[in-house]
Every structure is written in structure tokens, then in C-alpha cells.
Amino acid sequence: MMRRQLAGLILTVLLLPMYVQAQEPRLGTIDFPSSGNAAAQPHFNRGVLFLHSFEYESAAEAFRQAQQADPGFALAYWGEAMTHNHSLWDDRDTASARAVLRRLAPTTAERRAKAKTERERMYLDAIEQLWAEGSKAERDTAYMLAMEDLTRRYPDDVEAKAFYALSILGLSNTTRVVSSYMRAAAIAQEIFRDHPNHPGAAHYIIHSFDDPTHAPLGLPAARAYSRIAPDAAHAQHMTTHIFVASGMWDDVVSQNEVAAGLTSWGPGHYTSWLTYGLLQAGRYEEAARRLNAARELAAPRGTAGARSYLAFMRAYHVINTERWRDPSLEWTIALQDGWPRARVADLFLSGYAAFKRGEIERGQKALRDLGQLVQRLGDDPVMQVLASELEAVAALRAGDHAKAVRLMERATAIEDSMPAEYGPPDIVKPSHELYGELLMALDRPVDAQRQFELALMLAPKRARTLVGLIHAARAAGDTRAVERARAALDQAWHAADPELVAPRNHRGGN
């Protein structure tokens, strides 16, 4: 998974106002019997429902309300402590979680004594594992094993199974481990089959399958989740993990519009995905309006996360529209404290657009700055790919075709070695797509066609790749490939801006 997107979820979910409605929010259905009194149980259930949809701030408030109604209700403190463990975002607030548990009782033994049943004691025992001493990987594994014990002891406890599935996903620490994801999926699917209105089951199925290879398996859960929890912004967005991996751009746009409407239209996780979907759908002018609105809605400087998202949104816009003199390129986005990948992507954009405009000296400066930044920030494969790509573009412009090819071979090899990621790409110009365009510039259409086909395996129905494939396949004489790509692009662009002419006339590539 992509760390800056995971970090962005923290910005989007944790810092937004709590959901306020006259009626109980529609979040799905669970059955979580407990020893809490009658006044505490509704608050507790609402907290668990919010927890399953990663609406952590709202969940914490619900659990605190349950504590007020029943101060000795151990699971209410368990729930609030759980809101500080964001396992799929590689984020954990140990100090805050320990403070919550100390409000129940000062020691582990005293807290355990507060639990009124053995089952509830096992829930507390499990979460104590998360906040013990040791590395995050050690604590995640110990927690997972404790949840596994809980499900064995109480095989009919649906909530234990759901949180067990989530604990397995959490072992990956933002890097997709297919075997773990499939284990989690098997558990979540069993819950979803027997409890089709359970938000956690649908949510964890989506996380298990949100890559192009497995996305078809997650589509039923994605379709269901938005109906299960219509008042959870993250649930509305989460469906688009499957939609992006499937190239379903209309759904990417509509669901992120709902999610952004429930939260904020400023630069953030939901607006970034929304803008990317609009670009793939050929709705460039609306994407530009969203980009400009996001900039205006941000504070004068905004948070580091908001400014990082704005940089990615600008990169998506310029690279996918190929508007190398777009007015947004004149913006100054302060990224000194921004996410490392956002800083690298922003420098890549600056240099790439400069080379496209024929401003070689400016492009070379951006290339030097990018190389120095990547060297300082460390050995991140995404950064290595972007650096190699920009160097390849510079080599092509300088007439060193052999060097350009070598650099693109390196870039694609690095990207291919990375675990499958989800959502709009941190590699803002996918390496196989750029390699295909470079090969077209070298009059090698058969090789270019293969690169575009490889790009589509990593990013199905990406519009810029489809345009490149049409040109390459036509030049290679592969009529059937041309028609397939044209049909896919026509489908993606069925509501595109009028000025986007038919694919056969659209100019694309290097």
C-alpha cells in the first residue's frame, strides 16, 4: 500500500469534525453482546460500527459516551484504545492508547479484573499486546495471535472474527503480502456471507482484494459497502479501492464526490482520488475546477499533508492532460515539510514539464535537484523510479537513445519488483507507460505496444496508456489491439470533454 495515502487518511479522517446528525448514523449492523448496562450499549455498538469503517474520531467519542453511561464497562475502554491503532495506515499512538487504558485501571491485572466475563477479558488481553514493549511487528503478531485464540475459544463471536481478519491485514505494515491478504479475505467473506450488512466484513474484503488481479473478487463487497454504511465517509470512499483497480472511473468519481461531501473539499485523500478519476474519464475541465477549488480551500499554508496532496493532484492533472503550460505550474506549494514522495513527485513534474516544453536548461536543473533530493531521502523504490524516468527523458532529448532505454529498463524493473499498490499512483508517470512513449519516439512500435500492455496490467483502463496503445498498435499493424483499446477508451471517455477528439485523432506520447 502507498504510505502517503495511508498517512493522508489520518489527515482526512482524524482532523475532520465529528459527524453530527439528528438520527443515529447509518453504519451497518453488528451483534456485539457485552456486560455494559442498557444505557451504555447503544453508544458502544455505534463506536464499534464507526471503528469498522475507520471513522476513528467518531468511534472514540461514542466509546467515551459509553464510559460515561457505565464507568466500569471494560470494553468501552478497549474500544477507545482501539481507535489509536491504525494498522493498515502504519500508524499507532501508543501513549494515547495507554492513557485510555489507565483510565479504566492503572495496571494490566487491575484492568483484567474489571472485565466481567472471560470473553471480555480475552478482548482486553489481546489489546494489551498492542501496547506492550517491543517492535511494531512483534506487537502486531502478538495481537493477531491473541485474536486467533479468541476466535477459537468463541467461534460464534462474529466481531472477534472481524477484528481477527483486520489483525491479519495489519501484519503487512502497508506492504501487500498476498498470502496474509487471502487469509483475511477468507474470514471476512465468511462473515459477509452470513451477515451481509456487516460493515467490517465488506471493508476488510475490499482491503484484501484492492489490486488489479484480485479486484473482481472484491466487487460485490464494494457495491454493498456504500449501501451498508451510507453515513460513513470512509465507507463511501473505500469502495473506490476496487473501482480504481478495475478502471471503473464513473464509480471512482461518484463515490469520492459523496465521501468529500461528507467531509471536506480541500486537498485530501478523497479529493485526490476524485480528481484522478475525473482525469481518467476525460473530464479535464471539471478536474481543473476541483484542483483550483482544493487550492483555494486550503489554509494559506495548510497542513503538510494538505500541501502534499495538492502537489500530487497537480502532478496528476498536468501529466494526464499533457498541458505542459498549465497555469497550476506557476503555483508555489511549500513542501519543505511535505511527504518525501510528494516532494519527489513535484520535482519530477517540474522537470518533465520543462523538457516537454523544450526548456532543456530548466529540465536539467530539476533533474539535478531531484537526484540530490532522492539521495538525501533514502532508497525508496518510488523515488528511484521517478529519478530514472526523468534522467531517461533528459537522455532522449540529448540524443543518447541507448542511455534512455537503459534507464527505462531500470525504472520498469524497479516498479515490477514492487508489491501491488492501490489507488492513484505515487509513480505519477507509470514507468511502462513512459517507456512505451519513449519507444514510440524511437520508432519501435512493436516494443512500445508491449510496454503499454504491461502498463495496463498494473493500471487497468488508464486513459493515457490506452491512447499510447492505440498509436503503437496501429503503427505495428495490430488492428485487433487497436479496436480493443479504442473500445476501452471510448467507454472511459463516454462523458469526456468535447474537445477530446476521437482516439484515432488524439495525439499522445513523447
Distance, in Å, from the CA atom of 350 to the CA atom of 360, rounded to the nearest integer, reads 12
The average pLDDT across 328-333 equals 95
Alpha helices (H) along 322-462? 340-357, 360-377, 381-397, 401-417, 431-441, 445-458
Give residue 500's pLDDT band: very low, low, confident or very high (50, 70, 90).
confident
What pTM was computed for the model?
0.91
- Cα dist. 424→220, 344, 402, 408 in Å? 22, 16, 30, 21
Instruction: Note the pLDDT tens digit of each residue in 363-387.
Output: 999 999 999 999 998 789 999 999 9
Residue 92: beta bridge partners? 85
Q: Is pLDDT above 90 for 24?
A: no
> pLDDT tens-digit profile of 30-39?
999 999 999 9
- Tens of pLDDT, residues 287-320: 999 999 999 988 666 899 999 999 999 999 999 9
Can you give the pLDDT at residue 145? Answer: 97
Q: Quote the mean pLDDT of the chain.
A: 92
The pLDDT score that the predictor gives to residue 388 is 98
- What grid cell was written down for 186? 477468507
Residue 21 pLDDT > 50: no
- Asked whether 315 and 14 are in contact (CB, 8 A), the reply is no
Q: Match 482501539 to its residue by C-alpha cell.
A: 82
Burial class (CB in 10 A: 0-12, 13-18, 19+), 85: buried
Which pLDDT band, with edges at 50, 70 and 90, does 229 fall under?
very high
